[in-house]
Amino acid sequence: MNNSRRAFLGQVASSLGTLAAVPRNVLGANDRIRLGIIGYGDRGAQIAQEAVGCPNTEFAAVTDIYTEQLEIAKSRLPGVKTYFDHHAMLEDKSIDAVLIATPQHLHCEHFVDSIKAGKHVYQEKTMAFNVDHAKRMRAAYLPVKGKQTVQVGHQSCSLGQVTDASEFLKDDKVGKITAIDAMMYRNTPHGKPQWSRPVNASMNPDNILWNRFLGEAPKVPFDPNRYRNWRFFWDYSGGNVYENMCHQVSFWYKVLGLQIPSAVTMTGGLYLWKDGREVPDTMNVAMEQPEEILFSWVSGFGNASPGVTEQVLGTDGAIFKGQQIKYSPEPVNRPGAPALTGQTQTPPRAHMQNFLDCIRTGKETNCPFELGYRVSIACRMSVDSYRLKRTLRWDSQKEEIV
């Protein structure tokens, strides 16, 4: 064991007692919120900086299983305590809220432990890795709902476009909606595969707690590529469905109040990047909504021209969402009706600020647990459909994918 790891391990509490749920924390002077984070990788560092940029916040602690990430955290967040073990961090009663930005297969463990420790939680997307995890997270959260705040990291739910879309839907301007068509296309230079990140020499068993990374996933020998590029592997990732489809789905699930799909079919394949990844780079998802809406999502990593857009198609009008959001009437049913363009601005760090504001007020967040739950199930149905090569259905009575 090298000296760096020994030094960090020395900070871990020797006794990890049972963490019982406690009431909503009493904040310090001036409603100052003390924060900790579990998972200080690229995304974790981003949301930590967002939180630091919000008024009356203080970063107290960082947990990560890789020594180098803890060193980086100390250089960026002066004075923070660092931990390998998230349980030890959660024992600090002065920490009000926890940000969770670990790989998707670890979300359940870290969320449940944080809720049981009495913390407010900002949970990165996609909230739950599978149905079992979603149910376990719900079982932990429901008893403290209203006392502890949860925000799921679907940032689109805090866009000003939510207000605009809701305004467009008033007075039946869109009519009966039968289809939502969404797409997410991007590209990278030759030789630079999407998501691929280099493995560093320091990524070795001395510096990474491998078993903590695996969690409940199948036990395999240490592999720095699986650690560094976990998004490539089904054991830890839902691929681009969990990375990007979830954001576009969450926006319209929120605005339209959509429920878990009744049936999902996903097709596609690994057509472009032959670098050992398991998740597809080109895909098509068709979600049959119980509201009698077909929600289609297409995505690929081989051409950026189509970009990222969504269209909500109704008998009396359509909503087009991209960099701007617009309403266009259907002349056959709304002759002479004006087209509309959304004007609502999105403040900086809106989603994180909303989380912090709701901790202080007790109000519901812009992306509450229930919304994250529905999106998680839709995403899992999609991935499982692709892997099983058949249409999957949701049994709403048993709450199971069949």
- The string of pLDDT tens digits covering residues 337-363 is 999 999 999 999 999 999 999 999 999
- The string of pLDDT tens digits covering residues 304-324 is 999 999 999 999 999 999 999
Q: What pLDDT score was predicted for residue 253? A: 98
Tally the C-alpha atoms within 13 A of residue 277's C-alpha that lie toward its C-beta.
Answer: 25
pTM of the model: 0.92
pLDDT exceeds cutoff 70 at 21: no
Taking the C-alpha atoms of 62, 68, 71 and 77 in order, what is their torsion angle to the nearest 10 degrees?
Answer: -50
| Averaged pLDDT, 372-377 | 98
Vertex 166: Cα angle to 162 and 167 (nearest 5): 120
| pLDDT-based confidence at residue 26 (cuts at 50, 70, 90) | low
| pLDDT-based confidence at residue 27 (cuts at 50, 70, 90) | low
| Averaged pLDDT, 219-242 | 98
- The string of pLDDT tens digits covering residues 59-84 is 999 999 999 999 999 999 999 999 99
Cα 353 from Cα 346, distance rounded (Å): 11
Task: Please name the residues in contact with 362: beta carbons below 8 A apart, sequence gap of 6 or more.
Answer: 24, 146, 149
Please say whether the beta carbons of 66 and 208 come within 8 A: yes
- The string of pLDDT tens digits covering residues 94-136 is 999 999 999 999 999 999 999 999 999 999 999 999 999 999 9
| Averaged pLDDT, 394-399 | 97
- The string of pLDDT tens digits covering residues 142-168 is 999 999 999 999 999 999 999 999 999
Mean pLDDT of the chain: 93
The amino acid present at 320, given as its one-letter code, is F
Q: What pLDDT score was predicted for residue 16? A: 31
